[in-house]
């Protein structure tokens, strides 16, 4: 008689509990664009606000790219920051549609009825690098604006007095030998405020 190898009945069965796989969070790869708005007449418009920048870019993307352009507008695209004094603007876009947004910026020609040009200053995969550059440029621009205003004020005073400014006038802005600009307290406060605003830009929302 041929004996068959019949497995014995299992009396104890303790299966290893199934471990649920952790939830996967898809991370959308993005690019951050640092842009400066340059006015054709060289005079900034303090009345321009962030929603106007976003609307102008949205219109440009939709006009030139149609339904294809609507994709970045719905997923991951956002105007994160804008300052009307420095003209600096920070935009987050999906990585695959970065060039779409870049090309669309060249077609924005007017804001509030004034001729403008959108200059791409930096493109980065992280927002931190754009923030650093934005802070450095903001500091530079505000010092230059303060110096220009000071020099213009000096010229106006000379015209009024018919001669050079009196020696008793308190000079608040100085151009040092290494090219740096020492500015007045009001400008320093504006610089500190803008630096804080840029540093607090949320990379997620």
For the chain, what percent of residues have pLDDT higher than 70?
A: 69
pLDDT, tens digit (0-9, with 9 covering 90-100), for 86-125: 999 999 998 888 888 899 898 999 998 899 999 999 999 9
Task: Give the separation between CA 190 and CA 10, rounded to whole angstroms.
Answer: 79
Q: Could you write out the DSSP letters of every residue in 39-100?
A: ETTS---TT--HHHHHHHHHHHHHHHHHHHHHHHHHTT-EEEEE-TTT-EEEEEEEGGGHHH
pLDDT (0 to 100) of residue 152: 76
Task: Check residues 137 and 171 and name the one with the higher pLDDT.
Answer: 137
Q: What are the residue boundaries of the structural domains of the chain, listed by start? A: 30-131, 138-162+173-199
pLDDT, tens digit (0-9, with 9 covering 90-100), for 164-184: 444 444 456 665 655 666 667
pLDDT, tens digit (0-9, with 9 covering 90-100), for 39-60: 999 888 889 999 999 999 988 8
Query: What's the N-to-C CA distance of the chain in angstroms?
Result: 77
Query: Do 59 and 111 contact (CB within 8 A), yes or no?
Result: no
pLDDT, tens digit (0-9, with 9 covering 90-100), for 89-99: 999 998 888 88
pLDDT (0 to 100) of residue 72: 66
Domain 30-131 has CATH 3.60.10.10: no
Task: Give the separation between CA 197 and CA 178, rounded to whole angstroms.
Answer: 29
Task: Please name every residue paired with 182 in a beta bridge, in sequence order, or none if there are none.
Answer: 174
Task: Check residues 161 and 79 and name the one with the higher pLDDT.
Answer: 79
For residue 192, how many other CB atoms are within 10 A of its CB?
11
For the chain, what percent of residues have pLDDT higher than 90?
A: 28
pLDDT (0 to 100) of residue 62: 85
């Amino acid at each position: 008689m041929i004996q068959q190898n019949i497995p014995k009945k299992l009396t104890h069965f303790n299966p290893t509990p199934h471990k649920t796989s952790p939830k996967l969070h898809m991370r959308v790869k993005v690019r951050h664009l640092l842009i400066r708005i340059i006015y054709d007449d060289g005079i900034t418009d303090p009345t321009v606000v962030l929603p106007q920048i976003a609307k102008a870019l949205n219109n440009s993307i939709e006009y030139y790219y149609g339904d294809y352009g609507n994709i970045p507008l719905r997923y991951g695209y956002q105007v994160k920051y804008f300052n009307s004094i420095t003209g600096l603007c920070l935009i987050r876009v999906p990585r695959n549609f970065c060039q779409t947004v870049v090309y669309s910026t060249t077609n924005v020609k007017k804001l509030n009825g004034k001729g403008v040009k959108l200059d791409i200053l930096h493109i980065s995969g992280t927002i931190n690098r754009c923030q650093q550059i934005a802070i450095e440029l903001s500091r530079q621009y505000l010092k230059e604006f303060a110096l220009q205003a000071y020099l213009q004020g000096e010229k106006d005073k000379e015209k009024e007095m018919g001669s050079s400014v009196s020696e008793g006038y308190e000079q608040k802005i100085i151009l040092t030998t290494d090219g740096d600009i020492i500015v007045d307290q009001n400008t320093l406060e504006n610089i500190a405020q803008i630096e804080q605003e840029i540093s607090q830009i949320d990379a997620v929302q």
